[in-house]
Amino acid sequence: MDNRSEVRDFLTTRRERLTPEQAGVPFFGGRRRVKGLRREEVAMLAGMSTDYYTRLERGNLTGVSHSVLEALARALRLDEAERTHLLDLAETANTPTAGRTPRRVPNRTTVRQGVQRILDTINAPAYARNGRMDILATNRLGRALFADALGTGDSFNLARYLFLDPRAQDFYPAWPTVAADCVAALRTYAGRNPYDRALTDLIGELSTRSEPFRTWWATHNVKLHHTATKTMHHALAGDLELTGEALQLPGDPDLTIITYTFDPSGPTEQALAFLASWSARSTGDPDDQPARSGWGTASR
């Protein structure tokens, strides 16, 4: 991905979404010829010249200091994810590439045995994924929850499922929110890993085959995924309200474990108990079924 175009489009979209009222810029009415703030207004808010800000918005972050980036983040009212994304773009712009091969991200297809053991000890749906949204490993309840997406395989890509499998819109009743958040997460990951060829291929595929993906990708929205509550509609278990918690693995910085918690006094507890029972029966291993009495304790 071209760093200059990424910087240009990100800063332009952030400037255009911010109104003078939101930024605290005096506005005396009349017709404005630009959407959002003018470049000179952003420059004034950030304490820099218009020429210097124009250079930044044209995609040139080479040599820009941390203090300037922080001032720009404040002027554009960037949230935590957007500020982090701006710093990631600046790091790429200021990393020399001459005479060396750009760092490539490993395209792993499995996880360590220790990671799988962690998943198997979680008494709730859980999976391990990388930044490209490749689901590389699940526990028993995770496999049961995402049975349609997994099919007969052991892994799947969540972004492909969301945008290329029509069943995803039934599985996620709030599909537009879930799908847009997925795109924002991929954009965030792209800022940290601009040389990930597998990600570039994925973005190209989805942009070609899915108009909603292409539209959301063009917004340059970013998001840090720490926790989120989603409603999922399982074909057998019905509606489940689950809160995903993202757990980072220091030994595997490219992996994240997502585990789903739930209200132990709500209907999701019974739905998951049914799902666990169904999963144990379908695999012919009833002894591996989690005890129902342990649901609430494990999920608190």
Delineate the domains of the chain, giving CATH numbers in brackets: 3-93 (1.10.260.40), 113-299 (3.30.450.180)
> What is the pLDDT, as a whole number, of residue 1?
73
> What is the pLDDT, as a whole number, of residue 259?
97
Separation of alpha carbons 83 and 74, rounded Å = 9
Nearest CA to 4 among 77, 72, 66, 62? 62
Which structure tokens are listed for 207? 């942009």
Cut 0.75: pTM above it = yes
Report whether 178 contacts 163 (CB < 8 A).
no
Separation of alpha carbons 293 and 2, rounded Å = 53
In a structure prediction context, what are the per-residue pLDDT tens digits for the chain, which is 300 residues long?
789 999 999 999 999 999 988 998 877 566 777 789 999 999 999 999 999 999 999 999 999 999 999 999 999 999 999 999 999 999 999 987 644 445 555 677 789 999 999 999 999 999 999 999 999 999 999 999 999 999 888 899 999 999 999 999 999 999 999 999 999 999 999 999 998 999 999 999 999 999 999 999 999 999 998 999 999 999 999 999 999 999 999 889 889 999 999 988 889 999 999 999 988 887 666 454 444 334 433 333
Report whether 248 contacts 130 (CB < 8 A).
no
Separation of alpha carbons 102 and 250, rounded Å = 23
CA angle at 106 for the pair 101 and 109, rounded to the nearest 5°: 155
Which structure tokens are listed for 74? 């404040």
Report whether 85 contacts 10 (CB < 8 A).
yes
Separation of alpha carbons 200 and 184, rounded Å = 15
Residue with tokens 């997460």: 185
